[in-house]
Amino acid sequence: MADPFLWIVDNELVIPGVRDARTFLHVSDAHLCVSDEGSAPAEAAEAAGWDARWMKTKEEFARHFGEPFGEAQRVSTREAFDRILAWAREEGPEALLLSGDNLERMHPAGERYLSRRLREYGGPFLCVPGNHEAEACPGAWESGVRTLEYGDFRIVAVDDRLMTVSDEALDRLAALAAEGLPMILVCHVPVAASGNREKMRRFGGYFAIDGETADGNGRRFVRFLEEADAVRMVLCGHIHGYSDTEIVPGKRQITASQGMIGFVHRLTVRGGAA
């Protein structure tokens, strides 16, 4: 029987020229709140407080977006993440893609826990930081643009947690795109671009990098996603609800809902006619 905790949404991305179909699991906003034997009493109490707050808030998000929420979802952030990882291990995807707010905030027990769990998971993974996190977390993610290479396409991790992207990252993205290999971008904050501006704006200004922002790097990032032929899809999170919009016609941006309620986006990339 299907686990009532998990909510799996399937999508497919066709990239002409891709030889082997590959499946990825995309998870976002796990917001892990963790304490362990190394936590001081005050740290443990603080983590328990964050977890209690999410128990309420994640339900409010789920109700707001009309997403499944029941008894099965009333588990701690830690249990939620463990159950997703246990299932992912059985699934054995090409890679696990974690699109940010993996931790509720940077805290030593949470960082220890996340890096240990990912090591135990054993398979390939790619994490980006969210707005609750720092630019690097040893064992989970490093700073800068990073890629997973598959020969006929690549997955590219970009840090946009501060609602902008650094000059260095933008230059690196442009260089990767110039190579012409199709790419799927993974970042935390979605964009409001020419094709999805009205829909994304409805979530509120805090929830997307708008192509009309006053920030030059933010505008350059959105224009890059709109115009670079190499970019075929954007995977992100941040809004705590599932959405599937088009940056420009034919180029989808998918926000994974919150991992805290058992949401997993399963993406299959395959070849074929566009």
Contacts to Fe ion by CB under 5 A: 29, 101
Nearer to Fe ion, 54 or 113 (CB): 54
CA 203 to CA 56: how far, in whole Å?
A: 20
Nearer to Fe ion, 59 or 226 (CB): 59
Query: How far apart are CB 189 and Fe ion at their closest, in Å?
Result: 10
Helix (H, G, I), strand (E, B) or coil at 35: coil
CA 270 to CA 274: how far, in whole Å?
A: 10
Query: How far apart are CB 238 and Fe ion at their closest, in Å?
Result: 6
Query: How far apart are CB 226 and Fe ion at their closest, in Å?
Result: 25
CA 186 to CA 203: how far, in whole Å?
A: 20
Report CA dihedral (101, 104, 109, 113) to the nearest 10 degrees.
-40
Q: Are 230 and 182 in contact (CB under 8 A)?
A: yes
Q: Are 63 and 262 in contact (CB under 8 A)?
A: no
Q: Tokens representing 162?
A: 């501060």
Nearer to Fe ion, 98 or 247 (CB): 98
Q: Tokens representing 59?
A: 């339900």
Nearer to Fe ion, 99 or 245 (CB): 99
CA 271 to CA 256: how far, in whole Å?
A: 23
Query: How far apart are CB 13 and Fe ion at their closest, in Å?
Result: 24
Query: How far apart are CB 216 and Fe ion at their closest, in Å?
Result: 26
Nearer to Fe ion, 94 or 101 (CB): 101
Q: Tokens representing 160?
A: 């946009």
What residues contact residue 172 under an 8 Å CB cut-off, 6+ apart? Answer: 144, 145
Nearer to Fe ion, 94 or 111 (CB): 111
Nearer to Fe ion, 213 or 258 (CB): 258
Query: How far apart are CB 83 and Fe ion at their closest, in Å?
Result: 19
Q: Tokens representing 163?
A: 């609602």
Nearest residue to Fe ion, using CB?
A: 101
CA 136 to CA 133: how far, in whole Å?
A: 8
Cα–chain center distance at 6? 17
Query: How far apart are CB 78 and Fe ion at their closest, in Å?
Result: 16
